Amino acid sequence: MQDKSSKNIEKKPCLYLFPVPLSAGDVRAVLPEINIQIVSEIKYFVVENIRSARRFLKKCNSDIDIDSLTFFELNRHTAAEEIAGFLEPMAAGNSMGVISEAGCPAVADPGADVVGIAQNRGYKVVPLVGPSSILMSLMGSGFNGQSFAFLGYLPVNNEARLKKWKIIEQNIVRFDQTQIFIETPYRNNKIIAEMTKVLSASIKLCIASDITGENESIITHSIAEWRKRQYDYDKVPTIFLLYK
Amino acid sequence: MQDKSSKNIEKKPCLYLFPVPLSAGDVRAVLPEINIQIVSEIKYFVVENIRSARRFLKKCNSDIDIDSLTFFELNRHTAAEEIAGFLEPMAAGNSMGVISEAGCPAVADPGADVVGIAQNRGYKVVPLVGPSSILMSLMGSGFNGQSFAFLGYLPVNNEARLKKWKIIEQNIVRFDQTQIFIETPYRNNKIIAEMTKVLSASIKLCIASDITGENESIITHSIAEWRKRQYDYDKVPTIFLLYK
């Protein structure tokens, strides 16, 4: 396989972006074998959480000598000045890896800052294939995949969020654009209830929960239909998609 | 692996969405092993192109008896009435697969229609992990992954496209949103030249080309810097990303 793959370990230092499974189970169910091969060769990592990164690496390959690795922790507590120093091993010729908590680094997850610095310095950045709940929910929704927007979290402030629903409805029509967003899992039911109240009956809502997990479910109905349905998505990682 | 995976073949009929490699090489470099296992069990497929779907299946598993499979072709020539009939094997209890030409079905590719019909009929839809040039270029750009929009192709009409650049610049600021789009590959250089002319010097442009291929390159610079650079992206599949 090595000689056929385009993802052989490069000779010049690269910043590899490693997706991480979204749910329990064998990493090989959601990651290509090449990811495991590359991650096994890297000694320096920028990670969202050291403990979970170690756990991920052990699951990838139990032969990895975790104690020989260097980890730099990148999360919302990390100062901007500190991040610039993280890539010093690359200046010395070493490839590095970015590992987030779940899903794809730098997409709805920390990592974009460190990738931006690598881009500024002219380092080669190599994203690898892996699970993205945003992309997989879009695939499964039946909604427009030629035009879509991911909005992250909606405003917490009630008034601001009510305004946001208006913009979302406008953008669905104006840009013919699927609108995708997430919510803090313990507020999932609340936000669904709000949507069934404030959105037009004909708008379609896809609720995608526990993507790649044992209880994965991706269900699309009109708001009118969701009004009549029983649901309970609280505390389950869930993505919401809206389209006409 | 089977018992640990959340993607065991389901007992009730499912519509599986199979991503396809974006470039030549071993399919296992970009697809998890479970995809190969599942695709090997399916007898009915909705595909963008029958010939390339057969080639993909042979590369996944040379033991698959291609002649025993049924293919329904879904592309821009397929009539809407016809699509509704494609899922009849599911009514008879069979799982089906959707295979696009390259990348993820239903994302910047046909497939959304047939997924929408499956959703309407209450069938379980199961997206699988695979390469998406949109997602991978976003990961590698260093741009905002908490808020982004994929716009598909920009207008071909010059006047309409010049207006679109204005909206794109506005949306970068208004929604703090990474803007992602594609161009017909033989027009790549032309669209880059246009961007260096009409966009603000400080806007950042990431050009991501030949994702997962041998010449993969993901390079971010300001428009001011791109003005000074030599480039040639013509005829190479390329994604463009803009951000502040």
pTM over 0.90: yes
Q: Does A18 touch chain B (CB under 8 A)?
A: no
HEC sequence for A47-97:
ECCHHHHHHHHHHHCCCCCHHHCEEEECCCCCCHHHHHHHCHHHHCCCCEE
pLDDT of res. A2? 37
Q: What DSSP string runs through B90-140?
A: HHTT--EEEE-SSB-TTSSSTTHHHHHHHHHTT-EEEE-----HHHHHHHH
Q: Does A132 touch chain B (CB under 8 A)?
A: yes
Coil vs helix vs strand at B84: helix
Q: Which is nearest to B149 in space by CA: B175, B172, B195, B180?
A: B180
Q: Which is nearest to B206 in space by CA: B222, B224, B185, B186?
A: B222
Mode of pairing for the β-strands spanning B204-209 and B124-127 = unpaired
Q: Which is nearest to B216 in space by CA: A79, A6, A183?
A: A6
Q: Does A135 touch chain B (CB under 8 A)?
A: yes
Judge contact between A27 and A137, C-beta under 8 A: no
Residue tagged 């990164």 (tokens)? A53
Alpha-carbon distance of B30 to B53, in angstroms, equals 16
Q: How many Cβ atoms from other residues are within 10 Å of residue A8's Cβ? A: 15
The mean-pLDDT minimum among A126-135, B4-13, B147-156 falls in B4-13
Residue B176 CA, chain-centre distance (Å), reads 24
Coil vs helix vs strand at B203: coil
pLDDT of res. B9? 55
Q: What is the mean pLDDT of chain B?
A: 92
Q: Which of residues 144-183 of A touch B (CB under 8 A)?
A: 144-152, 175, 177
Alpha-carbon distance of B140 to A7, in angstroms, equals 15
User: Could you give the angle at the alpha carbon of A57 between the alpha carbons of A56 and A63, nearest 5°?
Assistant: 140
Query: Taking CB atoms and an 8 Å limit, are A142 and B116 in contact across chains?
Result: yes
Q: How many Cβ atoms from other residues are within 10 Å of residue A49's Cβ? A: 17
Coil vs helix vs strand at A112: helix
Judge contact between A112 and B143, C-beta under 8 A: yes
The token pair at B183 is 């161009």
pLDDT of res. A6? 46
Alpha-carbon distance of A74 to A68, in angstroms, equals 19
Q: List chain A residues with CB under 8 Å of B150.
A: 146-149
Return phi, psi of residue B149, to 5°. Answer: -130, 135
The complex's ipTM? 0.93
pLDDT of res. A4? 37
* pLDDT tens digits along B12-62: 899 999 999 999 888 999 999 999 999 999 999 999 999 999 999 999 999
Q: How many Cβ atoms from other residues are within 10 Å of residue B49's Cβ? A: 17
The token pair at A170 is 């406008």
Question: How many beta-carbon contacts under 8 Å exist across A and B?
Answer: 213
DSSP 8-state class, residue A214: T
List residues bridging with B182 in a β-sheet: B153, B239
pLDDT of res. A24? 87
Alpha-carbon distance of A30 to A167, in angstroms, equals 35
pLDDT of res. B51? 94
Chain B nearest-CA distance from A199, in A, is 20
Alpha-carbon distance of A33 to A35, in angstroms, equals 5
pLDDT of res. A17? 97
Q: Which is nearest to A128 in space by CA: A157, A113, A107?
A: A107
pLDDT of res. A1? 33
Query: Taking CB atoms and an 8 Å limit, are A26 and B5 in contact across chains?
Result: yes
Mode of pairing for the β-strands spanning A148-153 and B148-153 = antiparallel
Of A7, A147, A218, the CB nearest to B29: A7
C-alpha distance from residue A124 to each of A13, A173, B229 (Å) = 7, 39, 17
Using CA coordinates, name the residue in chain A closest to B137: A127
pLDDT of res. B34? 94
Residue B60 CA, chain-centre distance (Å), reads 19
pLDDT of res. B237? 94
Q: List chain B residues with CB under 8 Å of A6.
A: 23-25, 29, 212-214, 216
Q: Does A185 touch chain B (CB under 8 A)?
A: no
Chain A nearest-CA distance from B142, in A, is 4
Q: Does A97 touch chain B (CB under 8 A)?
A: no
Query: Taking CB atoms and an 8 Å limit, are B142 and A134 in contact across chains?
Result: no
* pLDDT tens digits along B79-114: 888 888 999 999 999 999 999 888 899 897 778 999
* pLDDT tens digits along A78-115: 888 888 899 999 999 999 999 988 889 989 777 899 99
Evaluate if residue B69 carries a pLDDT over 80: yes
Query: Taking CB atoms and an 8 Å limit, are A149 and B145 in contact across chains?
Result: no
Question: In chain B, pLDDT over 90 holds for what percent of residues?
Answer: 84
Q: Does B21 touch chain A (CB under 8 A)?
A: no
Q: Using CA of residue B126, residue B129, residue B131, residue B134, what is the dihedral sign?
A: positive
Using CA coordinates, name the residue in chain B closest to A164: B175
Q: Does B3 touch chain A (CB under 8 A)?
A: no
Confidence of residue A33 (pLDDT cuts 50, 70, 90): very high
